[in-house]
Amino acid sequence: MLSRTVRRALQDANLPPTYLLPFRARLSTVGHTIDPEPVPEPLLNSAHISRQTPTRPYTPPVSRQSSTQPAETATQPTAALPAPTSTSPSTPTTPLSDSIKDLLPLLRSQTPHYITAHLHGRPYLLTQGDTLRLPFLMPGVQPGDILRLNRASVVGSRDYTLKAGAPAASVASLPKEELGHADIRAKQSYVDERLFVCRAVVMGVEAEPMRIKEKTKQRQRHVRQVKSKHKFTVLRVQELRVRSLEEVEGLA
């Protein structure tokens, strides 16, 4: 036991000097004594110089197209667009068929004429001098206004009848659920408006008597009164005639 203890103490006492230690150990013992390298003077003055130099304002890049134009034209204001003007609806320019050219004078010579006019999608059978009370109040009209009824599906006399052709197959085959409010009217074809003249005068507005309807709900004693008094526009057909071929060709 004693020999082992003495041997271990001798081994611990014979430690190597510090200069024989590994490289890492030497760095840890003498690293704090090494003087740092001096910083170059340009690097020290760079921060001071950057603070004193003023920054240039940002200028947006000039496009290639504007750079080629002179300065006078680039600063000129753009010309204002012309105001839109309202134009009357264009008359159809479809040439008349040979059958219409042959039979239109016969229809024109035989009077009186009748017409199936369409107002807001509803047909009305009219002759000259008839008074028509519309089942609604027509908006935007005043008593004394003259209306041109240019939508008609039938124009005829005692022996002759001029009917409108069939509508387009692409529109007629679609159901009403897939059509809009304006396309439903396109499902009905009309006679060429150059062939006839139908004018109506707005006579005035009629109102029905006041109607009172009592309404009550179940298990309630309160009775509610609903009042209704509808108004209707009254028209009178002032002129109804069929045009001649010369007038139709002059409008085309």
Query: Does some domain include residue 73?
Result: no
The mean pLDDT value for 83-105 works out to 69
What pTM does this model have?
0.56
Name the strand (E) or helix (H) holding 232: strand 231-242
Query: Does some domain include residue 91?
Result: no
Query: Does some domain include residue 74?
Result: no
Query: Does some domain include residue 117?
Result: yes
Q: Does residue 224 surpass a pLDDT of 90? A: yes
Query: Does some domain include residue 174?
Result: yes
Average pLDDT, the chain: 75
Query: Does some domain include residue 224?
Result: yes
Query: Does some domain include residue 232?
Result: yes
**Residue given tokens 């082992």 in the structure block:** 4
Kindly report the backbone phi and psi dihedral angles of residue 192, in degrees, each rounded to the nearest multiple of 5, phi listed first. -55, 125
Query: Does some domain include residue 68?
Result: no
Distances in Å between the Cα of 54 and the Cα atoms of 44, 50, 57 are: 19, 8, 9
Contacts (Cβ under 8 Å, ≥6 apart) of 228: 210, 211, 213
Q: How many domains does the chain have?
A: 1
Which of the residue ranges 11-15, 87-91, 97-101 would you say has the lowest mean pLDDT?
Answer: 87-91
Q: What is the pLDDT of residues 183-217, one digit of tens each?
A: 555 678 899 999 999 999 999 999 999 999 999 99
Q: What is the pLDDT of residues 131-162, one digit of tens each?
A: 999 999 999 999 999 999 999 999 999 999 99
Which of the residue ranges 11-20, 141-150, 208-217, 219-228 would you say has the lowest mean pLDDT?
Answer: 11-20
For residue 123, the enclosing domain spans: 98-208+219-251
